[in-house]
Structure 1
Amino acid sequence: MASVSPESGAPARDVRLLPKAHLHLHFTGSMRTGTLLELADRYGVRLPEALSSGTPPRLRATDERGWFRFQRLYDIARSCLRRPEDVHRLVQEAAEEDLRDGSRWLEIQVDPTSYAPRLGGLIPALEIILDSVADAMRATGLGIRVLVAANRTRHPLDARTLARLAVRYADRGVVGFGLSNDERRGFARDFDRAFAIARDGGLLAAPHGGELSGPSSVWDCLEDLGAGRIGHGVRAAEDPRLLRRLAEAGVTCEICPASNVALGVYERLSQVPLRQLFEAGVPIALGADDPLLFGSRLAAQYEIARRHHAFTDRELARLAAQSVQASTAPPDVREKMLLGITEWLEN
């Protein structure tokens, strides 16, 4: 069924043709299901039905057991990436999927520590990833950069090592430093030194916060880690003072509606406080998070805004523009994307 514009009742513009930046996509989670099935068969990895059925699993990560199940599925999928050519294929296909959805700039997040055991070590793993990104850019024309992410469940000293490595490879396409995994574990301030290293090295600070935990985790990201963007941040809607802070500081929240519901943060797509954040003036960059597990990619998040939150085409264009402005894309690339957004609205 074709979408209908809330503005006029006429057929809505195709959101796949709307130029946009994709700022919240995890590495293994970007994989196509078909690719996972092929790799699992090649390496003799037995996949649980939640990964092999082609139907996104229903996860309840709001409790520890549910998060463990989600993480286990992710780890099983990651175990199928064993050779440089597997990594190359994943990045190439992620770029193709993004282009199909109208993305003109992708910032993909990865913890190279997780891939190091099978790819020859930490530095070789990151270099293979960055080489794959460079190849995919040449092949597709999509602008792609990398955010190196530390794991909140590991020791903060590991995060410092990763931050130094990320800075070292800034000239090879690393643009930011993140903090992922269960935000209910530990304290953001334990990672403050790692983020200081990253920021001092010119990298964007983009930790996760405000999804599984409430507004306090967003405050911690702002005050302890100097966040320039927040991965998720959706539960900032529960704190009016925090909404004002994000809006006034221009800190973008990378909102991923489909994953919010899949992980049980909200029961229904209509409950995700997307419009509340938007109308409070908080910059938003819609993201797909982990399409492999959540079943929808970037354009689908814009359709969610349209269908479940009555965003008009003009408002969708504003969301796309906010994603572009929050990206690390060079000025000329941003200008071209913003011009494309204007043209999308005029056609």
Structure 2
Amino acid sequence: MWRQAWRRIWGFRRRGRGGVFCEGRHQVKDLAKVELHLHLEGAAPPAFIRGLAKEKKVDIGGIFDEGGNYRFADFWEFLKVYEAATSVLTKPEDYARLTTAVLEESAASGVVYCETFLSPDFCGGRDVGAWREYLHAIREAADRAEAQDGITLRGIITCIRHFGPEKARQTVRCAVETAGDFIVGFGIAGDEKIGKPKDFVWSFDCAREAGLRLTAHAGEWGGPESVREALRDLKVERIGHGVRAIEDLALVDEIAEAGIVLEVCPGSNIALGLYDGWRKHPIGEFYKRGVKFTVSTDDPPFFHTTMAREYEMLNRAFDWDEGVFDGIARASLDAAFCDADTREKVLKRL
């Protein structure tokens, strides 16, 4: 039932060679977009981080290449570079400036609604009082961006998997204390090869009881079983990435039937070497099998992408037309964790 309903929502129509009829590839990048998987620190432009480091006289030059871009060889080095870049963000004012810079980039790419991952681990060391100060600064910057650029931001607090379950308990306390109209979800990110989802059950149960919606990174560097574990143990309604589920088609069918939403980030997966090119990315197969998915950038400057580029590359790879992408945006808004009033406001922008 979910598959048929989702296909109707998206309005897919096939025609021609192996895909959907395209009425103008150059136009899809300008469509209004909804992004549900974006790490705030991971979206920091390299020039912003370099400038902040220079202001604070901090030497992090080793994380950049000769062209000024972030430099890393694989996912695990990416995590180290990510945390090194984040190390110069030490005050609420830094996060206000970061939020402004990120939302300017997103709005320029046509994003009208965004959910971003926020980690009190980086914002005040998981201290609730300090986290409130950081959150206040982020919200003020988000309000200004909405007034100026018409982009709405909401936050999903994430614990960091490789920091361990005890620190996750501190993180979820920050989430519970600030849950509301802006902090709408709770999740987990980090190194999937460290620990198990069941280690974080207490934190997810706590977030659920506070009314927060739940998502979890899985099925990126962990295989299909990592997706099963996240669904079974954490009882989430969205999966960050989840692309490795394609290696177990029975699992893919279960996800489709249950209406679980995959937050797919094709450009990220390809940049990190999970898939050799856009046509080989499993997002096309997810579509065929009626899986609910959204499109996002993950950590855009790290992977040299934007939401506009994601749309363009998917258009080229699968010949999806403007109607398909409009359907993706509306379906993404349906999957968003925001309240009904916010959803209705954003819907008008689509």
Deviations 1:97-123 (A, max 9, x none): 221222221111022112325xxx622
Deviates more, 1:307-316 or 1:251-260: 307-316
Deviates more, 1:330-339 or 1:260-269: 330-339
Partner of 1:105: 113
Partner of 1:39: 52
Higher relative contact order (CA 8 A, sep 6+): 2
Gaps of 5+ in 2: 1-18
Partner of 1:128: 133
1:263 deviates by 1.5
- Residue 151 of structure 1: which of 157, 160, 165 is its match? 160
Partner of 1:196: 205
Deviations 1:114-143 (A, max 9, x none): 2325xxx62244223321332123212122
Q: How far, CA to CA, are the matches of 2:52 and 2:159 in structure 1?
A: 26
1:54 pairs with 2:68: yes
Q: How far, CA to CA, are the matches of 1:229 and 1:281 in structure 2?
A: 15
1:244 pairs with 2:253: yes
The alignment partner of 1:105 has SS state of strand
Partner of 2:40: 27
1:116 pairs with 2:124: yes
1:133/1:145 contact within 8 Å kept: no
2:198/2:229 contact within 8 Å kept: yes
Q: How far, CA to CA, are the matches of 1:168 and 1:36 in structure 2?
A: 30
What TM-score do the two structures reach when normalised by structure 2? 0.87
1:91 deviates by 0.6
- Residue 96 of structure 1: which of 78, 100, 104 is its match? 104
Partner of 1:271: 280
1:172 deviates by 5.9
Letter in 2 for 1:133: I
1:276 deviates by 0.6
1:23/1:327 contact within 8 Å kept: yes
The alignment partner of 1:149 has SS state of strand
2:120/2:127 contact within 8 Å kept: yes
Q: How far, CA to CA, are the matches of 1:124 and 1:271 in structure 2?
A: 46
The alignment partner of 2:155 has SS state of strand
Gaps of 5+ in 1: 1-5, 62-66, 342-347
The alignment partner of 1:23 has SS state of strand
The alignment-based identity, stated in percent, is 32
Partner of 1:173: 182
Deviations 1:54-101 (A, max 9, x none): 34546333xxxxx1x111111111011122221111011111222122
Q: How far, CA to CA, are the matches of 2:293 and 2:166 in structure 1?
A: 31
What do you get for the CA RMSD once the two structures are aligned? 2.1
Q: How far, CA to CA, are the matches of 1:109 and 1:166 in structure 2?
A: 12
Q: How far, CA to CA, are the matches of 2:262 and 2:228 in structure 1?
A: 13
Q: How far, CA to CA, are the matches of 1:53 and 1:122 in structure 2?
A: 37
